[in-house]
Chains A and B, each alone.
Chain A
Amino acid sequence: MNRKNEIWVFGDYRNYFQNRVTLQLIGRAVELAKEIKATVCAVVMGHDLDEWIGEYMAHGARRVYVVEDPSLKEYDAETYAHLTARLAAAHSPEILLVGATSFGREFAPRVAKRLNTGLTADCVGLAINSDGLLVQTAPSFGGNLLADIVTPQQRPQMATVRPGIFKEIPHNYEAKGEVIRIPLPKDIPARRIRLIKSVRQTQKPQKIEDAAIVICSGRGIGTQKKFNSLYELAELTDAEVGATRPLVYAGWADHEDLVGQAGKNIRPKILFSFGVSGAIQHTAAISGAEFIIAVNKNPQAPMMKMADVAICADAGQVCAALIRELKKRIR
């Protein structure tokens, strides 16, 4: 096989958060590249890209493919997919990674289709197995199950990856790399979607079912005052607050906030669980949570057993300490 053996990371940069996931993927690609002796490359398209080209190299990319043109200024999934598929067809990368952002999740399926290859969505893990294949770990059933998926024959092996899973490499502005500029092809299809308006979102009204972070409380929080302090923590972390049945009965929380069999099922990326013992009616509804931080005085509580981090302490005190510390640390 005549392959250059490259791992490509799609340069998604439209906002701060998208840029971070790009850097996280470059970070992971650097580790994967060691195992298959590959070169980590970024591919970026748009207008005025120098800042991003420099940033990708500083964070680990050794080669950056660039398609720069004023007409590419606005993100467009179809156009970007067209260009990326052409580039990939010409350079045959082994692996192509895309951040699972709103854009990435529309763009990557189109690229995969054009390249006749497989794509695993929203991965939470990437590794190289003994056959040299990319093992893509993806959640299914609301995170209840994980599946390890490979693309044995087709290339590139493609995955979208959730933000926050991998760590970016600290920047090194001394790092050198190669920039390959590709002129915009003349025969690029006309856009069929016109962007009429794009407004930066201020506060998105979110529902607890869709929240990335949920703070759940049970009777173990102690007092209504302490329970109310969870809303301050929620404000700091853009979280939604949920409650178990006893708190809803006590009138501290609305029925709308009930997380449990008779209420809402949630699947946040992070679940903070304060003073929840973990009755089955509740744990069934939170089994989709990706990462659970539980606080309870009783280490034997079922909720503590199913947590990623089980904090054996007073829920109210930990909440207060968390609020103090986050105020100092959030940038």
Chain B
Amino acid sequence: MELVVCIKQVPMVSELPWDPATGTLKRELAEGMMNPACRHALEAALQLKARQGGRITAVTMGPPMAEEVLRQALALGADEGLLLSDPAMAGADTFITSRILAKAVKQCRPDFDLILCGCYTSDSETAQVGPQLAEELDLPSAAFVEEIDMKKNRLIVSRFSDGFIETLEMKLPGLVTVSTQCYTPRYFSLAGIEAAFPDGAPIRTVRAGDLGLDPESIGVHASPTRILKVYAAGADKENIVLRGAPKQIVDHLLNRFGDRIGGAMGKDIKKNRN
């Protein structure tokens, strides 16, 4: 099977230093890591390859340092790495990112059978690039899958979806995004690490021009969305203080925030009129 895994390098948020004065993150001090869900997607690809044979191409888009996650993918068992890196690509939203990824896959791996993505990234959390990449390449897709198998030439996937456990059969070529519930990522083997760092590690850097992409059609200016501002969550928190008898407090809490609590549970919490 010809497998393509899209991975992203994200900042290691838990290690990020906080600015206590503003409550914001000092992002420039961030160390990069492979996005957790992408590790699950890679693991799913590695298991598929072990059963079906084939080749895994790991693709990432990002600054030159994103090569690190490709090396990590190679160390874990991917066969080749594709680094899409160009200053013109900086600041792309999901709409543009999926356009660039699609172009790269079409050009570098036109004979792919399956594209695997993580279900979302830990930094922007949109979960949009997978479905939009499927749309760009005119592929069937299944998001947030838990199990992947092959039956004859069809892909069989299962997933949790809005309270249902679905089993789906997909024609290939296709795309899946892999949830973080299954396919627990493996650790590096020593041989893998050695394979990832020869002088001629099979990593190819691709620029916008190589893909025939006009710099005007990609990057921050081409994105349909604009970020107006970014701010620390909680800066606008009300910090409501409740005191009194436990019963009164709980009544107050549930009357005022019962919808919110119930919403998180997926159940209705009745309001008390008294």
- What residues make up the interface of A, taking CB atoms closer than 8 Å to B? 14-18, 20, 77-78, 81, 101-103, 105-110, 112-114, 116-122, 135, 138-154, 163-165, 167, 192-201, 204, 207, 210, 212-213, 237-238, 261, 265, 268-270, 284-285, 291, 293, 299, 304-314, 317-318, 320-322, 324-326, 328-331
Contact with A along B16-57 (1 / 0, CB 8 A): 001000001100000000000000000000000000000000
Closest to A205 in B: B181
Asked whether, in the complex, the Cβ of A14 is within 8 Å of the Cβ of B162, the reply is: yes
Tell which of B162, B165, B170, B270 has the most Cβ of chain A within 10 Å.
B162
- B residues 145-185 with Cβ under 8 Å of A? 156, 159-171, 174, 180-181
Q: Could you say which residues of chain B place their CB within 8 Å of the CB of A148? A: 227-231
CA distance A312 to B254 in the complex (A): 16
Closest to B231 in A: A146
Closest to A309 in B: B240
23 A-B pairs whose Cβ atoms sit less than 8 Å apart in the complex: A20-B263, A103-B162, A105-B128, A106-B144, A109-B126, A112-B132, A113-B132, A118-B93, A118-B95, A120-B126, A121-B128, A141-B25, A142-B125, A164-B263, A193-B140, A193-B168, A193-B171, A212-B265, A213-B261, A299-B241, A321-B246, A326-B254, A330-B265
Closest to B257 in A: A309
Q: Could you say which residues of chain B place their CB within 8 Å of the CB of A138? A: 126
Chain A contact residues: helix, strand, loop or mixed: mixed
Chain B contact residues: helix, strand, loop or mixed: mixed
CA distance A106 to B134 in the complex (A): 10
Q: Could you say which residues of chain A place their CB within 8 Å of the CB of B131? A: 77, 105-107, 109-110, 113
CA distance A154 to B181 in the complex (A): 36
CA distance A16 to B257 in the complex (A): 20
Asked whether, in the complex, the Cβ of A110 is within 8 Å of the Cβ of B241, the reply is: no
Tell which of B18, B24, B95, B233 has the most Cβ of chain A within 10 Å.
B233
Pick the 7 closest A-B CB pairs, nearest first. A164-B263, A118-B224, A192-B140, A118-B225, A321-B246, A121-B126, A109-B131
Asked whether, in the complex, the Cβ of B231 is within 8 Å of the Cβ of A145, the reply is: yes
Among B163, B250, B257, B266, which residue has its beta carbon within 8 angstroms of that of A321? B250
Asked whether, in the complex, the Cβ of B249 is within 8 Å of the Cβ of A321, the reply is: yes
> Does B13 lie at the interface of the complex (its beta carbon under 8 Å from any beta carbon of A)?
yes
Asked whether, in the complex, the Cβ of A270 is within 8 Å of the Cβ of B225, the reply is: no
> Does B204 lie at the interface of the complex (its beta carbon under 8 Å from any beta carbon of A)?
no
Q: How far is the CB of A92 from chain B (nearest CB, A)?
A: 15
Q: Given that A192-B140, A201-B160, A238-B265 are contacting pairs, would A154 and B224 also be in contact in the complex, using a CB cutoff of 8 Å? A: yes
- What residues make up the interface of B, taking CB atoms closer than 8 Å to A? 11, 13-14, 18, 24-25, 93-95, 98, 122-132, 134-136, 139-144, 156, 159-171, 174, 180-181, 223-234, 237-244, 246-247, 249-251, 253-254, 257-270, 272
Among A14, A146, A269, which residue has its beta carbon within 8 angstroms of that of B264? A269
CA distance A200 to B164 in the complex (A): 4
Asked whether, in the complex, the Cβ of B251 is within 8 Å of the Cβ of A141, the reply is: no
Among B140, B171, B249, which residue has its beta carbon within 8 angstroms of that of A318? B249
Q: Given that A113-B98, A135-B228 are contacting pairs, would A330 and B241 also be in contact in the complex, using a CB cutoff of 8 Å? A: no
Q: How far is the CB of B151 from chain A (nearest CB, A)?
A: 10
Asked whether, in the complex, the Cβ of A322 is within 8 Å of the Cβ of B224, the reply is: no
Asked whether, in the complex, the Cβ of A105 is within 8 Å of the Cβ of B142, the reply is: no
Asked whether, in the complex, the Cβ of B261 is within 8 Å of the Cβ of A270, the reply is: yes
Q: Could you say which residues of chain A place their CB within 8 Å of the CB of B160? A: 102, 201, 204
Q: Could you say which residues of chain B place their CB within 8 Å of the CB of A269? A: 260, 263-264
Q: How far is the CB of B11 from chain A (nearest CB, A)?
A: 8
Asked whether, in the complex, the Cβ of A139 is within 8 Å of the Cβ of B125, the reply is: yes
Asked whether, in the complex, the Cβ of A330 is within 8 Å of the Cβ of B268, the reply is: yes
Asked whether, in the complex, the Cβ of A139 is within 8 Å of the Cβ of B163, the reply is: no
CA distance A198 to B244 in the complex (A): 48
Asked whether, in the complex, the Cβ of A167 is within 8 Å of the Cβ of B225, the reply is: no
Q: How far is the CB of B190 from chain A (nearest CB, A)?
A: 27
CA distance A271 to B229 in the complex (A): 26
CA distance A144 to B10 in the complex (A): 15
Asked whether, in the complex, the Cβ of A308 is within 8 Å of the Cβ of B250, the reply is: no
Closest to B162 in A: A102
Among A116, A194, A293, A326, which residue has its beta carbon within 8 angstroms of that of B224? A116
Asked whether, in the complex, the Cβ of B269 is within 8 Å of the Cβ of A330, the reply is: yes
Asked whether, in the complex, the Cβ of A329 is within 8 Å of the Cβ of B234, the reply is: no
Among A81, A163, A193, which residue has its beta carbon within 8 angstroms of that of B169? A193
Q: Could you say which residues of chain A place their CB within 8 Å of the CB of B93? A: 118
